[in-house]
Each structure stands twice: as C-alpha cells, then as structure tokens.
Amino acid sequence: MENNKIEIPKRTKIDNNYKWSIEDLYISREAFDSDFKKVKKFIQEIKNYQNGLKNKEKILECLKFRDEISKTLDRLYTYAHMKFDEDSSVEESQIMLSNVQWLSQSFEESIAFIEPELISLGKEFLNEISLDPVFEDYNFEIINLIRQIPHTLSQNEEKLLAKTSLLAFSPSNIYHHLTISDFEFPEAFDSNNKLYPVTQGTYSLYVHSKDRILRGSAYKSLFGTYKKHQNMLASNLDMSFKFLNFYSSVRRYESSIDYSLFSDNVSKDFYKNLINIVKSNLQPLHSYIKLKSKILGLERVRLFDLNVSLFHFEKDISFLDSKEIIINSLMPLGKEYIDLVQKAFIERWIDVYENKNKTSGAYSTSCYDVHPYILLNYHGKLEDVFTLVHELGHAIHSALSNKNQPYSKSSYSIISAEIASITNEMLLLEYLLKNALDETEKKFFLNKFLENTRTTLYRQIQFAEFEMKLSELVDNSQPLTAQSLNSIYDNLNREYYGELFETDEYSGVEWSRIPHFYSPFYVYKYATGFSCANYFAQRILNKDITSYIKFLKSGGSNFPLELLKSTGLELESLESVEFTIKKFKERLKEIYI
C-alpha cells in the first residue's frame, strides 16, 4: 500500500495572517493574570451585598457590580478556551481553562444570594422595579425572574446547587478530552490505496468524497474507534442526562424537557408539535434518499453515503476567494452589515486552518468589550465557505447586539443565533444558484438546498426526538446503555430515511459522536433556525431588511419567540417549517426535471 499521507501541520507552521488576533483579548499572560486576580478579589467583595438588597439603590448597585465581574470573567473564559482550542495538548492551556472554570464556579456561588433575595421582596415589588426607568437595563431580567419564582430555592440551597455546576460539566469535559485529545483513528485508504490520516476534521472532508472506498474506510476507522469505547461513552452520556434530571427535579419542573425549554419560554407542546410536523412529512425525505440511491448507483444507502453530492462541483476555493464570494452574497443585507464582515477579515477575527490538536469543527465566540472570533478548520472546499458564512452570521449578530444592547441584554438565545447564521447560508446558496454557469452546477446547488434541509431540519429533529426518548428514560429511572442507545438511534435512522437506508454495525453508534447531546434540547433550535432563515432570506432578497437587522440588534432583550413576533413571524404556528418543507418538495421536483 502506498504510504502517501496528508500531514496535519503544527500550529507554529501556520502563517499568523490566518490565526485569530487573540492578543486583542489579552496582550500577554501577565494581563490575563491581572484580570484573573481582579475577578478573584471582586468575587469576595460582592458577598458584602448579601442580606442587604432591601432597596432599589442597593439592588441596582449590586447588579451593576455583578455585571462588571461577569464581563471580565467572560473575557477570561473566552481567552482561555480559545487558547485550549488552538492546541489542546498544551498543558499550560489546560490549566488556564481549568482555573477559569473554577473561578466561574466561585462566581456563581458568590452571587447565588441575589435571586433568592430579590424574590423574597415579592412579586409586586419586582413588578414595580421592572417598570422603573433606572432599571431599564435589567427590566427583562426582572420579568424573567418573576417567572422563576416557583423554581427558585432558598439562599443556602442555591449556594449548594451552585457548587455542583462544575461537576455537571464533567461529562462534557470528559467527552471532549477523550474524543479530541485521546482518540487515535486508523488511517483510511481510497480506491487507489492512498493513505489518509483520519481526524475529526478530515473525516468530515472524506465523507463528501465521490470515492466510496475512501468514505467507507474513513467511516469504519472513525466509528470503529467510537464503538470500542461505546460503553464508556454511554455511561458518560447517561451521567449527563442524570444531571439534567437532577436539576429539573430539584427545581420542581415536570420533566427534563420542561426544565430545558424554560429559559427560552418555549413550551413542551411546541417542541412535540415540531417533531410531529416533520415526522408527518418524511415522505419527501424518503423520495430524496431514493434519488440518492438512483444517481449514486446504490441498491441501499448507508450512513457514509448520505453526504455525497449528487452532482459534480469539484473546485478548490481559497480562503481569499471565499471572502469575495461571501461579501457578494451578503450584499442584500446592506452597508452596515457588510462593513462588519469586512472588519472580520481585516482585523483577523478568524482562525482559519487545521493544525495538530486543534479542536474540530467550527464556532463563533465573543465577549462584550472585544470583537467576536471564529474558529475554522478550512480545507478549501465549498462546504468550508458555507461554514464560514454561517459563523460570520453568529459573529455579526454578536457585534450588532453588543453595540446596541447593554451587557445585561446582549446575550441572545440559541434560537436567535441560529436564525442569524443560517440566514447567511441561505443568502449564499441563493447567490450561487443565481450565478450557476450551467445546468449541472444549478442542480448541484439545488441539491445543496436539499442537503441543508436534510441535515438542518430532518436530521436535527431526528436528534431532538432521540433526546426526548433519552430524557424520558432517565426521568423514569431507566439507565442509558450502549445497547439501548444504539437500538433507539438505529430505529430512528430507519424511520427517518426509509426502506432504502441500510443500517450496519456502526450506524447505531453515531449518537456517540454528537457533542450537542451534552447540551440537551439544543438541536431543535437548529431546525427552527433553519425554517425561520428561509423565511427571512426570502424577505431580504425582496429588499425588506429593516426588521431583520432590528432583530439582530435586539440581542437578548426579549424571549426569542417574542422577538420574532416583532418581525411578523409567528413561530408557534410552524408556518416557517411548512414553508421550508414545501420548498424542499419544489426543489426536489426541479432536480427530477
């Protein structure tokens, strides 16, 4: 077998122009340590307010001091986790992140008295201060606090509960260290016996390959490794859901779902209705799988076949070329938006290329007083351009929210976040579709929309149903084992993908590679975000951008569904989901023509 491997470079070999400007957060370790000591001191000082929140003046003073500490702590955490994600093998970064997590827990413990003391003042008083102009920055927080009265514990109980927060992160931390730092995957090979290193990042590249031998080999390498550790991973996920059950029970919620949805003021009925409307429209997805089997020449479609495009579009896109494409596609959003996109490239908000021990995937992160950041693992493929435009959606959303909202209202919900990012993807796709050079390229982008719908609506709802089944088991004192998880997951695979989908010894273990399951009841927000994004993209292309930009600037000043209502979109009606499924059917027909 030919030993021709693609080497993953060390971080020191990456050009600084393609690394994020992390120095904008802290110019030196000394500056970081100085803020760390300051926060540590402030955490002790805020305790002086305990038992003293008796009047408006002290309450406002305390909330402002809390936010001053929180802003600095956000900055510390952003820096620490970015340093860790650059290269998770560096011991100094591991220690730094651990120390900030410890400091965060200390902070949560130190402010545990605030909510119980405010609640003890009574609903009438809280309503009064929520209407007071001097509390304008905190009125939404106070309104939300009133909702939490039935679920808030005594001061001592809240303090004790705060001590468990770091423990609750343990399953996620264990998962991250194991799968990113400790897992080693056998090399994959293609139909020409060329060897390929398998990492979390490269696997996502290989499964898009036209070479089925490479896809299958990488699939077996990756999921064979996960399967070897499935019992430990199942135990770890079981512990994560038990923490969820613990918090929901202690805080007197009816179920883990109710507890998880409460912060966004989303009902369990909405969650279940969302699953039901998608499951009642699985036939279009089955038709799409049938089309895949026909075009790819496969009797049965397996998990590693799902990501292959049905039409050829092989073109390397440099990072600089992606910038031009993205800016052109986002022009309908207007000058204010485009100016921020330009800044993201010029001011090095983006960490572009993969290096050894760099965290996989992509994300955007931010803190209030510094511009946002984006982590990529850019390989020069079209999918990387979509990933970049997606993360820019998050980053610009943060920049607009931070500029237009006080710190206390700047953190937006995940539902709002996904709308901002996926709307960008939709605009990019419509731009590429409009500028397609021939019929094959046009069908490629039509297929891209079908894939987006499959992965961001159907697949995420499959995940959402999986989570619901798991939470119901744990809420009823049933353990999560590797065998039960594999069985539940593969049954959903068969149901969602239809009779032409073939399960195998690895397909059921895919649950173990989904990190979002350590943030339960998160994934449905991708599906809602995707459907809303289709709605907004259509309006933006019709020159209606005012309400959308206002939505981005509103940050976390209200519950996400209320913010959407202000734009004219009633999400509870699920109209946007029906619109998206209808669009899926129409574009599936276009490919058949």
Return the CATH number at 22.
1.20.140.70
pLDDT for res 4? 53
pLDDT for res 100? 96
Distance CA 260, CA 262 (A): 6
Terminal Cα-to-Cα distance of the chain (whole angstroms): 43
What is the DSSP track for 458-527? IHHHHHHHHHHHHHHHHHTT----HHHHHHHHHHHHHHHH-TTB---TTGGGGGGG-GGGGSSS-THHHH
Please indicate, yes or no, if residue 525 is contained in any of the structural domains.
yes
Backbone angles phi, psi at 364, to 5 degrees: -120, 140
Does residue 489 contact residue 511 with C-beta atoms inside 8 Å? yes
Distance CA 526, CA 566 (A): 21
Please indicate, yes or no, if residue 382 is contained in any of the structural domains.
no
Residues 558 and 426 in one domain: yes
Q: For residue 437, what is the DSSP state?
A: S
Residues 257 and 156 in one domain: no
Does residue 77 contact residue 370 with C-beta atoms inside 8 Å? no
pLDDT by 10s per residue, the chain, length 593: 344 556 889 999 999 999 999 999 999 999 999 999 999 999 999 999 999 999 999 999 999 999 999 999 999 999 999 999 999 989 999 999 999 999 999 999 999 899 889 999 999 999 999 999 999 999 999 999 999 889 988 878 887 888 887 788 899 999 988 888 889 999 999 999 999 999 988 998 899 899 999 999 999 999 999 999 999 999 999 999 999 999 999 999 999 999 999 999 999 999 999 999 999 999 999 999 999 999 999 999 999 999 988 888 878 999 999 999 999 999 999 999 999 999 999 999 999 999 999 998 899 999 999 999 999 999 998 889 999 999 999 999 999 999 999 999 999 998 899 899 999 999 999 999 999 989 989 999 999 899 999 999 999 999 999 999 999 999 999 999 999 999 999 999 999 999 999 999 999 999 999 999 998 898 999 999 999 999 999 999 999 999 999 999 999 999 999 999 999 898 999 999 999 999 999 999 998 76
What number of other Cβ atoms are within 10 A of residue 58's Cβ?
13
CA 503 to chain centre: 27
Residues 146 and 260 in one domain: no
Return the CATH number at 494.
1.10.1370.20
pLDDT for res 180? 83
What pTM value is reported for the model? 0.82
Instruction: Say which residues have a Cβ less than 8 Å from residue 143's Cβ, sequence separation at least 6.
Output: 130
Residues 546 and 432 in one domain: yes
Which tokens hold the place of 253? 């919620």
Which of 168, 186, 214 delimits the end of a domain?
Answer: 168
Instruction: Say which residues have a Cβ less than 8 Å from residue 442's Cβ, sequence separation at least 6.
Output: 433, 436
To the nearest 5 percent, what fractions of the chain are helix, strand and coil? Answer: 70, 5, 25
Residues 466 and 576 in one domain: yes
Instruction: Say which residues have a Cβ less than 8 Å from residue 307's Cβ, sequence separation at least 6.
Output: 207, 208, 451
Which of 168, 203, 229 delimits the end of a domain?
Answer: 168
Residues 161 and 251 in one domain: no
Q: For residue 301, what is the DSSP state?
A: B
CA 12 to chain centre: 28
Residues 304 and 162 in one domain: no
Residues 74 and 163 in one domain: yes
Please indicate, yes or no, if residue 4 is contained in any of the structural domains.
no
pLDDT for res 2? 44
Which tokens hold the place of 143? 């309104």
Backbone angles phi, psi at 465, to 5 degrees: -70, -40
Residues 264 and 161 in one domain: no
Distance CA 221, CA 218 (A): 5
Distance CA 454, CA 588 (A): 12
Q: Which domain holds residue 561?
A: 247-313+413-593
Which of 168, 185, 214 delimits the end of a domain?
Answer: 168
Distance CA 171, CA 173 (A): 5
Residues in a beta bridge with 363 = 375
Distance CA 392, CA 346 (A): 13
Please indicate, yes or no, if residue 197 is contained in any of the structural domains.
no
- Torsion-angle region of 367 (φ positive above 0: left; ψ -120 to 50: alpha; else: beta): beta
pLDDT for res 157? 86
Residues 434 and 556 in one domain: yes
Which tokens hold the place of 137? 């920055």
Catalytic residue among 86, 109, 354, 391: 391
Residues 422 and 278 in one domain: yes
Please indicate, yes or no, if residue 530 is contained in any of the structural domains.
yes
Backbone Cα Rg of the chain: 24
Please indicate, yes or no, if residue 372 is contained in any of the structural domains.
no
Please indicate, yes or no, if residue 327 is contained in any of the structural domains.
no
Which tokens hold the place of 28? 């030196």
Distance CA 116, CA 564 (A): 31
Distance CA 478, CA 475 (A): 7
Q: For residue 9, what is the DSSP state?
A: P
By three-state DSSP, how is residue 401 classified?
A: helix
By three-state DSSP, how is residue 349 classified?
A: coil
Distance CA 396, CA 223 (A): 35
Does the active-site annotation cover 391? yes
Please indicate, yes or no, if residue 187 is contained in any of the structural domains.
no
Please report, for residues 317, 501, 531, the alpha-carbon distance to residue 276 in angstroms, rounded to integers and kept in the order given.
39, 21, 15
Q: Quick one: CA torsion of 438, 442, 444, 449, rounded to 10 degrees?
A: 170
Distance CA 60, CA 53 (A): 9
**Residue ranges with strand state E in 20-82:** none
For the chain, how many structural domains are there in total?
Answer: 2
Does residue 342 contact residue 481 with C-beta atoms inside 8 Å? no
∠ CA 156-159-165, nearest 5°, is 150
Which tokens hold the place of 73? 């702590």
Residues 152 and 265 in one domain: no
